[in-house]
Structure 1
Amino acid sequence: MQAQLGQLYNAVPPRIWLALGVLVLGVLLSIVVGAVNRRLLERAGLPSIIEGTGFERLAQGLGTSTIAIVAQLSTYFLIGLTIVVALTVADVGYTDTFWTRLVAFLPRLFVALLILIVGILIGDKVELLVAERLRGVKLPEIGLIPTLAKYSVFYLAILVALSQVRINTLALVVLLGAYAFALVVFASLAFKDMLSSAAAGIYLLLNQPYTIGDQVKLGEQSGIVQEVDMLVTRVETDNREYIIPNRAVFEEGIVRVYD
């Protein structure tokens, strides 16, 4: 048995054994690095930052998490590099050009995937933050702004990721310009009421025809002013709160009631 093993060992070129050793060691090291990356991301507080994002919910639906995906990507990336190094050590000469290109491509692919994941996470987080900021604005068009913000971030992330893998993004850049132009036109049409409310709000804040605590009447609604911001005026009476767009105040006028 030992003689057969010795013959097998002698029959295999030393570079092949060395390549196998590099492969085994590299795979083990890749697994360790992936586990360490996961621990570092968890200690950095990333789970609480990405909690509630669409990508995280999707990952959890698949039985994993964003952190696990990023850690696995780093593991697979290192395993890929290990395979390339092992094949180089094994002196697989007829694939030199292929492996050279692959070695140059793998880091760009890894960075592109990370950019996509980070872009999706940032887009989801931007949507949540914008929606939270605009929660108090009771205008129907407001609901579109968080979605537009999210997909704008997604689009930019895709552009950057594609540029990392050397894909021509000129057409996408042109589309981005067209998208920005369409967004401006759409915003001017869809949010004209909001813009007029904002303009009226600036006028009201500068001139202060009424202030917090004043008794006012607008049409059939009357009460005490609780808050005046750039978009709306909040009036409260009899356990009811009226949220009046500033454009309505500016167009219809408001009656200030004196005791």
Structure 2
Amino acid sequence: MDWQTLIDEPAVIAAAVLALGLVVGYLVGQLNKELLTASGVPETVEGTPFERTAQSIGTSTVDIVARLSSWFIYGIAVLTAIHIAQLLDTDAFWFRVVEFIPQAFIAVLVLILGFIVADKSELMVSEYLRGVKVPEVSVIPKLVKYSVLYVAFLVALGQINVYVLPLLILLAVYAAGVVVVGAITFKDFLVSGAAGIYLLLNQPYGIGDRIRIGNQAGIVQEVDLFVTKIEDDSEEYIVLNRRVFDDEIVRVRD
């Protein structure tokens, strides 16, 4: 058997394709890791539950995404080698696999991105609402997180051609339920938000003014959508904006 005959053997070509796929997959994974690191992804996902879980098993979000891109190419190389070597003489199988792998790859990326966005959304909402002294407000960050995850799962399932119409209907019912229950449960919260909009637009008092709301008096330190923070000597009062209308405002003039 001469070299030309050997090179033309399907098994040899398949082995070459497999080796090339392994090299390309490794290089693409390393390149993606460098690009993700340079674009600041590690800092963006730092502190999220997904990143902490990844670190607990000795990896990171960047490593997972980079390895996922490598394994995608490895999978394509393996399937191509199998087809060239004629180990599976089924064109229909090959067509379905080639069609499914990119969809599965995108679905996994959507899920990873969904977990990251959900975790970051929960942290951001928690931080923004930290000064709001309404018991029910602690539910909102979790509600935001699981809403984002639900949408991510819907998109991922749609990518792999799963019938998602019942889930979309469930999402619509869920959204309507959130609106109705939220309007009832967070009545005081919504009233404070409406009062905050009025205060921010009309500015009856500003930072540095001395005011009295009910039996709490001090110098205004901050006014946001839901609360007004006033300070008197060593004490700081966090007053819901709805109390501004319930108890009325008194501006204290020196």
CA deviation map 1:12-46 (0-9, x unaligned): 98111221222122222212221222122112221
Contiguous gaps of at least 5 residues in structure 1: 1-5
160-169 or 143-152, larger mean C-alpha shift: 143-152
> Could you tell me which residue of structure 2 aligns to residue 16 of structure 1?
11
State the Cα distance separating 1:105 from its structure 2 match: 0.5
> Could you tell me which residue of structure 2 aligns to residue 189 of structure 1?
184
> Could you tell me which residue of structure 1 aligns to residue 146 of structure 2?
151
Residue of 42, 47, 69 corresponding to 2:37: 42
The 1-side partners of 2:91 and 2:139 are apart by 52
State the Cα distance separating 1:58 from its structure 2 match: 0.7
State the Cα distance separating 1:258 from its structure 2 match: 4.5
> Could you tell me which residue of structure 2 aligns to residue 76 of structure 1?
71
- Give me the TM-score of the superposition, normalised by structure 2: 0.89
State the Cα distance separating 1:188 from its structure 2 match: 0.5
> Could you tell me which residue of structure 1 aligns to residue 158 of structure 2?
163
> Could you tell me which residue of structure 2 aligns to residue 225 of structure 1?
220
Preserved contact between residue 211 and residue 250 of structure 2 (Cα < 8 Å): yes
Higher radius of gyration, 1 or 2:
1
- Structure 1 pair 59/211, CA: closer, same or farther in 2 (3 Å)? closer
The 2-side partners of 1:11 and 1:210 are apart by 87
> Could you tell me which residue of structure 2 aligns to residue 3 of structure 1?
none
Residue of 57, 64, 67 corresponding to 2:59: 64
Give the secondary-structure state (helix, strand or coil) at the position aligned to 1:94: coil
The 1-side partners of 2:218 and 2:83 are apart by 81
State the Cα distance separating 1:224 from its structure 2 match: 2.9
Give the secondary-structure state (helix, strand or coil) at the position aligned to 2:90: helix
State the Cα distance separating 1:222 from its structure 2 match: 2.4
> Could you tell me which residue of structure 2 aligns to residue 132 of structure 1?
127
198-207 or 20-29, larger mean C-alpha shift: 198-207
The 2-side partners of 1:11 and 1:41 are apart by 42
- The amino acid of 1:23's aligned partner reads L
The 1-side partners of 2:114 and 2:76 are apart by 25
- Structure 1 pair 87/226, CA: closer, same or farther in 2 (3 Å)? closer
The 2-side partners of 1:18 and 1:152 are apart by 49
The 2-side partners of 1:35 and 1:152 are apart by 33
Contiguous gaps of at least 5 residues in structure 2: none
**RMSD, matched Cα:** 2.5
- Give me the TM-score of the superposition, normalised by structure 1: 0.87
The 2-side partners of 1:28 and 1:220 are apart by 73
Matched positions, count? 252
- Structure 1 pair 186/84, CA: closer, same or farther in 2 (3 Å)? same
The 1-side partners of 2:133 and 2:184 are apart by 18
Q: Does 1:241 align with 2:236?
A: yes
Among the aligned pairs, what percent are the same residue? 51
- Structure 1 pair 36/233, CA: closer, same or farther in 2 (3 Å)? closer
